Amino acid sequence: MAAPVVAVIGGGQLARMLAEAASPLGIHLRVLAAPSDEGADQVVTDVVVGAADDADAIAQVAAGADVVTFDHENVDHDALDALERAGVAVWPSVATLRFSDKAHQRRAFAAAGLPVPDFEVLDDPAVAVERAVAFAARHVDVVVKASRGGYDGRGVWMLHGEAVADFVGSWDGAPLVLEPKLALRGEVAVLIARRPSGDVAAWPVVETVQVDGMCDEVVLPAELDPSVAERAVAVATEVARVTGAVGVMAIELFLIESEDGTGTDVIVNEVAPRVHNSGHLTIDACRTSQFEQHLRAVLDWPLGPTDPIAAAATMVNVVGTEGHDPRDRQADALAAVPEAKVHLYGKAARAGRKIGHVTVTGPDRSVTRERARLAADLLAGSD
């Protein structure tokens, strides 16, 4: 029996980690990598070089594959539509990928009754400034998001009062989404895996720590009242159903004070219809990693157990500093934190760029945070 072939569009670190999970499962991974991509081509032998918006390259990487999946969402939807019409399994589907657009996401979630913040979509230039003025009058401090193309804090602006209208008036890019700046009690994420046949598995809720809009640290378990954790999983599960997710989906959630001031409400921040930074610790901290689970899900194989293998775990991203190679200090980091699980992506270090991550598991949450931070700082050269 031939090995199943999974084609991945995108050649970054997520494709690299999917390849590492595919090998022991006997799955053949093929990757479509742009010439500028880094990470996957160092561990994948079957690489098609081409852009993710090149229909011919997409058709080439999909030829003979059992399923097509993704390292990122910046793909040619028309080319994927053609694959779906031709009977190729594309998971997540084009319909699910459209939820990467924040304007579509907000509107669809609100229509489905999911908890979302107040928002305004500005997709009509004729009335955009007028609507921005009205929204800023209600909320004063406003978060402005580009509906497409933003990640790791890019494409997001924190504006106050009249600055909102000034910004909107000068903007000529993708539609914008306006939201109020919220007084957050915290941020958490839930990863959900779903098969085409409908089976669903969720990992425990994790706490996420953001720095300048980019995920910096992920901690398991999240310190939540059990009822809030239960609500977070329930909301995430409904998001997966509404979006028709197949594979792994990450649902990022805000925690805010309830309107009556007696508890904590859960509202949807954003979703990513793929494996995600908030799930990297599952490689070393859970019985089934998000990468193995994603492959099992898109192939419609039985899902694996998601329970943790340790009482606590922390993942810290290794963020690049200009001109510094983390491999130069890898031995130092492992000497200082021998229990650290180091994952380097083979990417050139640039300021603000994720070039790896470190996970530490153990019996105590605070200790894993301290130890993972130490190892990551040593690798990044920022100690």
Structure confidence by residue, pLDDT tens digits, 287-317: 999 999 999 999 999 999 999 999 999 999 9
Structurally, what CATH architecture does the domain formed by 5-90 represent? 3-Layer(aba) Sandwich (3.40)
Q: What is the average pLDDT across 277-282?
A: 97
pLDDT band per the 50, 70, 90 thresholds, residue 159: very high
Q: In whole angstroms, what is the distance from residue 187 CA to residue 251 CA?
A: 11
Task: Tell me which architecture the domain covering 184-380 has in CATH.
Answer: 2-Layer Sandwich (3.30)
Mean pLDDT of the chain: 93
Give the three-class secondary structure for 382.
coil
DSSP state of 348: P
Positions of CATH 3.40.50.20 in the chain? 5-90
Question: CATH number for the 118-180 domain, one of 3.60.20.40, 3.30.1490.20, 3.90.1150.10, 3.90.480.20?
Answer: 3.30.1490.20
pLDDT number for residue 140: 80
Q: Does 168 score more than 70 pLDDT?
A: yes
**Direct distance between the N- and C-terminal alpha carbons of the chain, in angstroms, rounded to an integer:** 51
Question: Cα(299)–Cα(232) distance, rounded to whole angstroms?
Answer: 27
| pLDDT value of residue 260 | 76
Angle between helices 162-170 and 128-139 (to 10 degrees): 160
Q: How far apart are CA 363 and CA 311, in angstroms?
A: 5
In this prediction, residue 172 carries a pLDDT of: 85
Dist. CA 264–CA 185, nearest whole Å: 8
- Please tell me the predicted confidence (pLDDT) of residue 35: 87
Residue 243 — very low, low, confident or very high, per pLDDT cuts 50/70/90?
very high
Which candidate, 107, 125, 318, places its Cα nearest to that of 215?
Answer: 318
pLDDT for 245 beyond 90: yes
What value does the mean pLDDT take over residues 349-360? 89
Q: How many CB atoms lie within 10 A of CB 241?
A: 14
pLDDT classification of 16: cutoffs 50, 70, 90 = very high
Q: What is the pLDDT of residue 152?
A: 61
Pick from 340, 127, 362: which is nearest to 221 by CA?
A: 362
pLDDT digits (tens, 9 = 90+) for 182-193: 999 999 999 999
Instruction: Say how far apart CA 120 and CA 52 lie, in whole Å.
Output: 30
pLDDT confidence of 196, banded at 50, 70, 90?
A: very high
For residues 90-113, give the mean pLDDT: 96
Q: Is the Cβ–Cβ distance between 378 and 329 less than 8 Å?
A: yes
User: Residue 223 contacts by C-beta under 8 Å, 6 or more apart in sequence?
Assistant: 207, 365
Residue written as token pair 């398991």: 220
pLDDT at 324 over 60: yes
Least confident of 10-14, 19-23, 148-152, 215-219: 148-152
Tell me the pLDDT band of 381, cut-offs 50, 70 and 90: confident
- Who's near 99: CB < 8 A, 6+ residues apart? 105, 108, 243, 271, 273
The residues of the chain that CATH labels 3.30.470.20 are 184-380
Point out the least confidently predicted range of 23-32, 143-152, 156-165, 271-280.
143-152
Among 16-25, 259-268, 309-318, 329-338, name the one with the lowest average pLDDT: 259-268
Q: Which two tokens stand for residue 122?
A: 């500005």
User: Which 8-state DSSP code applies to residue 328?
Assistant: G
Q: Which residue has the higher pLDDT, 126 or 336?
A: 336
Give the whole-angstrom CA distance, residue 175 versus residue 43. Answer: 38
What is the rounded CA–CA span in Å between residue 189 and residue 207?
Answer: 6
Q: CB within 8 A of 166, min separation 6: which ones?
A: none
The band of 14, judged by pLDDT with boundaries at 50, 70 and 90, is very high
Q: Residues 173-186: what's their mean pLDDT?
A: 92
Give yes or no for residue 151 having a pLDDT over 70.
no
In the chain, ranges of CATH 3.30.1490.20 domains: 118-180
